C-alpha cells in the first residue's frame, strides 16, 4: 500500500503538467462518465480501449484499422459525436455492442486526462463501479500515487472528488492523518460529508445538471453503483486493457 502521506489528489486535468507524474502512479477518475463507460466496456469484453485527446487523433487511428474491428466512441459536451458508433453512456457498452472490439475513445475531459498521464509508472482508470479492483491494485504500490479527478474544463467535479475521497477513506481505514496532503484532506472530508448518499450528492452535481437534458436518467444511478465490476483498466503502450484479465 502506498504511504497515505504520499497520495495526492489533483482536482482537474489542467492541474498538473505531464512531467510531474514521472516516477508516480495515477488513477484517472471521471465518474460521469468516461471512467464508468470504459470500465463497463472492458467488463463486457471490449478487447482494448484506445483513449485519444481529440477527434483528429481518433480519425488517424481509425484509418489504420479494419472497419469491422473498431468502434468510434465518445462525446463532445455530453452528446454523441456525429458519425461515431457510440456515445458516452455506459448503457451503450453492452456485450453485444463491444465484445472483441477495439474502442477508440474520445471524451471532453476523461480521455484527455488519461492521455496526459502517460508518463506515470502505472495508469489505471477508476470509478465507483470498479473501486475494489483499484484498491487491490494500489495495495501493490510503494511509489507515490496521484488520484487525478478529470473535472470539467478545469473545474472541480464533486463526483470525481468523492471517488478520490472514497479510496482515501478505505486506504486510511477511515482515519486520515494530519500529515496527509491538502488534496487528500479535501477529498476525504467531502466523502465524510456525502459518502453515505453518493447518488443523492452526485445527482445534484453540476455535471449531472449539465447532462440532465442530454442523457438517460439511468446513467447517473448506474455510475453511482459501487463494486459492480471486477476489472482493472490499465495502460499498456497507450492502450487500456483489463489488467485483472
Binding site for ligand MLT (CB under 6 A): 30, 32-34, 75, 78, 88, 107-110, 211
Distance (Å) of CA 184 to CA 136, 173, 174: 19, 14, 12
Cβ burial of 173 (10 Å; 0-12, 13-18, 19+) is: exposed
Q: How far is the CB of 53 from ligand MLT (least distance, A)?
A: 11
Torsion angles phi and psi, residue 126, rounded to 5? -130, 150
Q: Which C-beta is closer to ligand MLT: that of 107 or that of 161?
A: 107
Tell me the closest approach of the beta carbon of residue 22 to ligand MLT, in angstroms.
24
Q: In 3D, which of 141, 130, 166 has the Cα closest to residue 9?
A: 166
Q: Which CB atom, from 180 or from 231, has the smaller least distance to ligand MLT?
A: 231
Taking the C-alpha atoms of residue 202 and residue 10, their distance in angstroms, rounded to an integer, is 19
CB nearer to ligand MLT: give 32 or 147.
32
For residue 44, the minimal CB distance to ligand MLT (Å) is 18
Helices (H), the chain: 34-43, 55-63, 95-98, 110-116, 131-139, 158-171, 182-194, 198-202, 206-211, 218-223
To ligand MLT, the closest distance from the beta carbon of 219 in angstroms equals: 8
CB of 179 to ligand MLT, least distance (A): 33
User: Measured from the CB atom, is 12 or 131 closer to ligand MLT?
Assistant: 12
- Read off the C-alpha cell for 35: 471512467
Using CB atoms, what's the residue nearest to ligand MLT?
A: 107
Q: Which is closer to ligand MLT, CB of 40 or CB of 184?
A: 40
Amino acid at each position: 500500500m502506498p504511504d497515505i502521506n504520499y497520495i495526492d489528489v489533483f482536482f482537474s486535468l489542467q492541474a498538473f503538467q505531464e512531467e510531474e507524474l514521472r516516477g508516480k502512479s495515477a488513477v484517472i477518475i471521471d465518474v460521469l462518465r468516461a471512467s464508468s463507460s470504459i470500465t463497463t466496456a472492458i467488463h463486457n469484453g471490449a478487447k482494448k480501449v484506445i483513449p485519444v485527446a481529440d477527434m483528429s487523433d481518433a480519425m488517424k487511428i481509425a484509418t489504420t484499422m479494419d472497419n469491422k474491428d473498431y468502434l468510434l466512441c465518445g462525446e463532445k459536451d455530453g452528446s454523441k459525436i456525429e458519425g461515431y458508433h457510440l456515445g458516452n453512456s455506459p448503457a451503450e457498452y453492452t456485450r453485444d455492442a463491444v465484445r472483441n472490439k477495439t474502442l477508440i475513445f474520445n471524451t471532453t475531459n476523461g480521455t484527455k486526462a488519461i492521455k496526459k498521464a502517460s508518463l506515470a509508472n502505472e495508469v489505471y482508470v477508476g470509478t465507483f463501479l470498479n473501486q475494489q479492483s483499484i484498491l487491490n491494485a494500489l495495495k501493490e504500490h510503494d511509489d507515490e500515487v496521484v488520484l487525478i479527478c478529470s473535472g470539467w474544463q478545469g473545474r472541480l467535479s464533486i463526483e470525481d472528488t468523492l471517488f478520490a475521497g472514497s479510496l482515501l477513506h478505505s486506504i486510511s481505514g477511515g482515519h486520515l492523518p494530519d500529515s496527509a496532503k491538502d488534496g487528500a484532506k479535501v477529498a476525504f472530508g467531502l466523502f465524510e460529508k456525502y459518502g453515505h448518499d453518493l447518488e443523492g450528492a452526485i445527482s445534484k452535481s453540476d455535471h449531472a445538471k449539465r447532462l440532465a437534458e442530454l442523457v438517460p436518467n439511468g446513467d447517473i444511478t448506474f455510475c453511482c453503483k459501487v463494486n459492480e465490476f471486477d476489472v482493472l483498466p490499465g495502460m499498456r503502450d497507450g492502450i487500456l486493457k483489463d489488467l485483472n484479465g
